[in-house]
Copies of this chain bind each other. A is one copy, B any other.
């Protein structure tokens, strides 16, 4: 790609030669000749002077006084996001069904779709236009993948999983597993068939080894634009609102409903049957034990300490109820003393 082409693609102001060839992307510190970099985080401005990048994506303010080549844009990080796809070495799938794949006679596979080696497409499944189904994928009966979807190798969709358009699913993800539904009969767990499905909106991304269980009765629902990182667990009947993002290792228990535009950091756990409103941020490894009705940030847990200090804190926390009572007692006693002869005001 030439710098002029990139400027045009982005609608950027070009500062430098149109014909400059750009062969890749890198950070300011690591970029070498031929590479384009970007300055998004002001913390990294210090690396701008010495960067070996052939050109840099910059805000107008940062471009002032920068002698090198630049593409001036309002949001360099977003510009980098858009341009990154032009340099992606990810192999493109070829349309057609690999001869080794097992496709049910009554499954519908669009001619523009790509079905990889050893994929299994079951009865009544529908694969729309420009979908990639990677090697070793399993698409269960009546499941639907909307147009432009991309399934990495080895993704499992059970039956009745309905996926919107342009959805990306990473390797090892499992959609439609049988949720954890059991009724206890005198100490023995009796299985409840999970007869609902899974419904995924458009433009969703689902990470490596993430699990989304099917609904017990109705569908488990993931809204449009939701981004789920790796190793996430979404239990049966959960609902996730549009454009909510969850980092890795989050676990959401059954029937919990999460609003739109929430950001759930890594390792967060939520109990079941609660509601979280829109625009909530939950910090890493927080345990969400109740509904959240006000937008804003929420946390639980304790800050990291050295092991020696932590041992003291942990022991003290166990004494905390006792401490609170002693404090109250002391307050009363001091109150009695000082109100008795009031030395502080009279003394």
* Chain A interface (Cβ < 8 Å from any Cβ of B): 24-27, 30, 75, 77-78, 80-82, 84-85, 87-91, 98, 100, 102, 116-118, 120, 122-123, 134-136, 138, 140-141, 152-154, 156, 158-160, 168, 170-172, 174, 177-178, 180-183, 185, 187-195, 205, 207-209, 211, 213, 217-218, 225, 227, 229-231, 233, 235, 243, 245, 247-249, 251, 253, 261, 266-267, 269, 271, 281, 283-290, 296-321, 323-324, 326-327, 330-331, 333-334, 336-338, 340-341, 343-344, 347
Contacts and interface: CB of A to CB of B under 8 A. Distances in A.
For the complex of A and B, 3 pairs with smallest distance between CB atoms: A297-B307, A340-B347, A299-B310
A323 B324 contact: yes
Nearest to A192: B81
10 contacts: A81-B191, A135-B138, A152-B156, A235-B248, A289-B304, A312-B320, A327-B327, A330-B331, A330-B334, A341-B347
Contacts of A296: 306-307
A347 B339 CA distance: 9
B80 A159 contact: no
Nearest to A316: B320
Contacts of A25: 195, 217
Contacts of A267: 251, 269, 287
Contacts of A304: 286-290, 298-300
Contacts of A90: 159, 193
A245 B287 contact: no
A319 B243 CA distance: 35
Contact of A118 (B136, B174, B347): B136
Contacts of A180: 207, 227, 229-230, 247-248
A16 to B, nearest CB: 21
Contacts of A337: 334, 337-338, 343-344
Contact of A193 (B88, B266, B289, B324): B88
A324 B317 contact: no
Contacts of A334: 330, 333-334, 337
B171 A158 contact: yes
Contact of A154 (B154, B324, B340): B154
B253 A247 contact: yes
A331 B308 CA distance: 26
Given A116-B120, A136-B154, 11 more contacts: A75-B185, A118-B136, A152-B156, A251-B266, A297-B306, A298-B310, A300-B302, A319-B324, A327-B327, A333-B338, A337-B338
B190 A78 contact: yes
B123 A217 contact: no
